[in-house]
Amino acid sequence: MELPAVQITHLRKTYGPLVAVDDVSLSVAEGEIFGILGPNGAGKTTTVECAIGLRHADSGTVSLMGLDPRTDRDKVREIVGVQLQTGAQPNKLRVGEILEEYRSFYRQPADVGELMDVLGLAAKRGDYYKTLSGGQRQRLSVALALVGQPKIAVLDEMTTGLDPQARRDTWELIEGIRDRGVTIVLVTHFMEEAERLCDRVALIDNGRVVALDTPAALAERARGGKTVRFLPSAPFDDHLLTNLPEVTGLEHVGQHVVVTGQGELVNAVILALHAVGVTARDVQLDSSNLEDAFVKLTGTHLHTEGVAA
Amino acid sequence: MNALVLARSRLAPSRRAGPQRLPLPGTARGAAFGQVVRNEARLARRSPMPVIGSIGLPVVLMIIFGEIPSSGAVVAALGGLTLFSVYLPIIMVLGLTMLTLLGLPGPLVSYRELGILRRLSTTPVPPSWLLAAQVVIQFGVAVAGLLIVNVVSVIAFGAASPKSPAGLVLSLLATIAGMFALGLLIAALAPTSGSVNAISRLALIPLMFFAGLWLPRPLMPQILQDISNFTPLGAAVQAIQASMQTGFPPARPLLVLVAYAAVFGFAARRFFRWE
């Protein structure tokens, strides 16, 4: 059994009467992109801040690669790279100067030039921080999280405020980093980001984990399954499909057939039809998404500023 | 999905090397601190007003005093000293005070506001390094300013060199220690960059009054002199004046300064908020 990269057990953190994190347990496998998703004030940021040792939890335990962020602070800081939700740099330092400073803090740092190339900051190397756009500042912040070549990168609202193109570039970057073996914990309230990037997602609401699964499985749970709609090339016996284990329901809508079910529904339906010489045309897969799952599980909508942007 | 995760984790850099990446060894820590100091020095150079003010104002004041026709004349009411030599220690501590009230706490408080101290505490380097780097740089500026004042006073205005150079150095170091501790205490207590200015302006007036800026210590009524002896800048001027005119300074003003350094330093440490 491999040691998880991040293990949080029964974490609880209060600020006076306010319960920021009620009871959060989760485990992130090494090499995973793990999403922490929830509405504002759900306790996402407090959870990760406790996890990286920036705040002290009231109770519960945290282990990062087997290290306790409170007692093994020095070692933890070597292997964890952090991008905080709020974080600026001095206006009159240049991009390259900031990166070189942070680079010197680590034992096995990344190459600054390469990092700036990857993040599209190379042309900004000699520019003052104050002249950077919001997206450039965000990318510098990600660069600072990665300059120590961390084993775990914690990115809090990494793409908030970025335009759609910059957001997609950043997603590709994150996938590239994960492919180098870095475990990534991504705090986000941006659905598309979680669906696109995350291997698994924890939905947090009111300081508790309300669901934890792959984005696809969560979405499926939200609607009780998927729906396939198609136009059969020839009539067929409904039992051909309703007998399939993946299928839970079937109805005829005009000339179309609508099948609901779970799992590899489309493949199962098309193979079964093919076996009797029927082809499905005009196939439409209607699957619910993580947003639906979120609404169903928490009763709240996420802020979807990212979608509008 | 799980298979995918596992496949990916095999690409990971060998865990067998272990997660126990040790903190930086001593030499690398020194180099890292050097980087912090270098960037702080760049920032000081790029926003030079506090430095220019704390070095320039004393020089300007000294030129003004030096050009007053009677400033070189011995005045009995000033204890047989010239106006110029009475004001020279006051001018020295004025430069130090500008530096410690504005130059030192300003950047530190803005770093806290910007979340830079908090960001640093997620790296292997503690945020206190920024504080230490600021102290190093401002100390350098303080020494440069004092050198300029002393050299110009001797060369341009014919001031006598100090009776006890060692006493002068010791007095100035004690003054720097006490005033830097005060600057750090302001950095600890000021919630915003704006309030640094407000607090500093408020502190500047009584501090400089008891240094004798408006009424030199020899002219103060006894009660004010007694109070002055126990204020940071009153003690500083007393120790510096003694080193300049008579010899090694008496113990009391030095002890007063050291006590301020200890008390302010302890309070700064106790109350400093990193976020």
pLDDT tens profile A263-289:
788 888 888 998 888 988 888 877 666
**Least confidently predicted of A166-175, A218-227, B119-128, B189-198:** A218-227
| Interface subset of A 115-144, CB within 8 angstroms of B | 144
Class of domain A226-286: alpha beta
pLDDT of A251 reads: 85
A206-232 pLDDT, tens digit per residue, is: 899 988 989 888 877 766 667 888 999
Does some domain include residue B250?
yes
Interface contact A181-B122, CB threshold 8 A: no
Enclosing domain of residue B140: 31-271
Set of chain B residues whose Cβ sits within 8 Å of the Cβ of A144: 119
B36 — pLDDT class (breaks 50, 70, 90): very high
Does A174 contact chain B (CB < 8 Å)? no
- Could you tell me which of B23, B24, B119, B121 has the C-alpha nearest to residue A98? B119
Q: Can you point out the beta strands (E) in chain B?
A: 74-75, 81-82
Whether pLDDT at A239 is above 80: yes
In-domain check, residue B153:
yes
Nearest Cβ partner for A104 among B31, B46, B121: B31
Return the CA Rg of chain A: 23
Region A64-90: what's the mean pLDDT?
89
Distance CA A195, CA A171 (A): 11
pLDDT confidence of residue A199: 94
Counted across chains A and B, CB pairs separated by less than 8 A come out at 121
What's the domain count of chain B?
Answer: 1
Return the pLDDT at A288: 66
- Give the pLDDT confidence score for residue B23 in this predicted structure: 60
How far, in Å, CA of A229 to CA of A259, rounded? Answer: 6
Pairing of the two strands A152-156 and A200-205: unpaired
The alpha-helical segments, DSSP class H, found in chain A are 44-51, 73-79, 95-103, 112-118, 134-146, 164-179, 191-197, 215-223, 239-242, 265-275, 290-298, 305-308
Architecture per CATH, domain A6-219, reads as 3-Layer(aba) Sandwich (3.40)
Q: Is residue B186 part of a domain?
A: yes
Higher pLDDT, residue A219 or B247: B247
In this model, does residue A175 exceed pLDDT 70? yes
Question: Model confidence over B75-114: pLDDT tens digits?
Answer: 887 877 888 889 999 999 999 999 998 889 999 999 999 9
Domain presence at residue B193: yes
Nearest residue, CB atoms, A54 vs list B12, B15, B121 = B121
Q: Does B148 touch chain A (CB under 8 A)?
A: no
Mutate to test the interface with A, among B39, B117, B121 (most CBs of A within 10 A): B39
For position A92, what pLDDT does the model report? 95
Most A CBs within 10 A among B112, B123, B130, hence the mutation to make, goes to B123
Q: From B274, which residue of chain A is nearest by alpha-carbon distance?
A: A54
Which residues are CB-neighbours of B231 under 8 A, at least 6 positions away?
Answer: B206, B207, B210, B211
What is the C-alpha to C-alpha distance for residues A213 and A217, in angstroms, rounded to an integer?
6
Confidence of residue A249 (pLDDT cuts 50, 70, 90): confident
In a domain, B25, yes or no: no
What pLDDT is recorded for position B14? 38
Does A100 sit within 8 Å of B35, measured CB to CB? yes
Q: B188-221 burial, b if ≥16 CB within 10 A, otherwise e?
A: bbbeebeebbebbeebbeebbbbbbbeebbbebe
Phi-psi region of A277 (alpha: psi -120 to 50; beta: other; left: phi over 0): left
Confidence at residue B219, expressed as pLDDT on a 0 to 100 scale: 92
Q: ∠ at Cα A119 (A115, A122), nearest 5°?
A: 75
Q: Tell whether A84 is within 8 A of chain B (Cβ).
A: yes
A19 in Cβ contact with A208 (< 8 Å): no
The pLDDT of residue A305 is above 50:
no
Check if B192 contacts A (Cβ < 8 Å).
Answer: no
- Chain A residues in contact with B37 (beta carbon < 8 A): none
B16 touches chain A (CB under 8 A): no
Tens of pLDDT along B141-189? 999 999 999 999 999 888 888 999 999 999 999 999 999 999 999 999 9
Which residues, including other chains, have CB under 8 Å from residue A123's CB and lie 6 or more apart? none
Of residues A179 and B254, the one with the higher pLDDT is B254
The shortest CB-CB distance from B11 to any of A2, A144, A181 is to: A181
Q: In this predicted model, what pLDDT tens digit does every residue of A32-68 receive, in sequence order? A: 999 998 888 888 989 999 999 888 899 999 999 999 9
Chain B residues whose beta carbon lies within 8 Å of the beta carbon of residue A74? 23, 124
pLDDT the model gives residue B170? 97
Q: Is residue B246 part of a domain?
A: yes
Q: Which of A146-155, B2-11, B59-68 has the lowest mean pLDDT?
A: B2-11
Q: Which of B6, B21, B49 to mutate to test the interface with A (most CBs of A within 10 A)?
A: B21
Domains A6-219 and A226-286 share a fold: no
Q: Give a yes or no: residue B257 inside a domain.
A: yes
Residue B259 lies in a domain: yes
Put simply, the chain B residues between 30 and 49 with a CB less than 8 A from any chain A CB are 31-32, 34-36, 38-39, 42-43, 46-47
Better pLDDT: B22 or B225: B225
Contact B122 A54 (CB under 8 A): yes
pLDDT band at B17 (very low <50, low <70, confident <90, very high): very low
- Partners of B28 on chain A (C-beta within 8 Å) are 104, 107
What is the structure's pLDDT at A211? 86
Domain ranges of chain A: 6-219, 226-286
Inspect the interface and report whether the beta carbons of A108 and B21 lie closer than 8 Å.
Answer: yes
- Nearest C-alpha in B relative to A5: B19
Give pLDDT, residue B18.
42
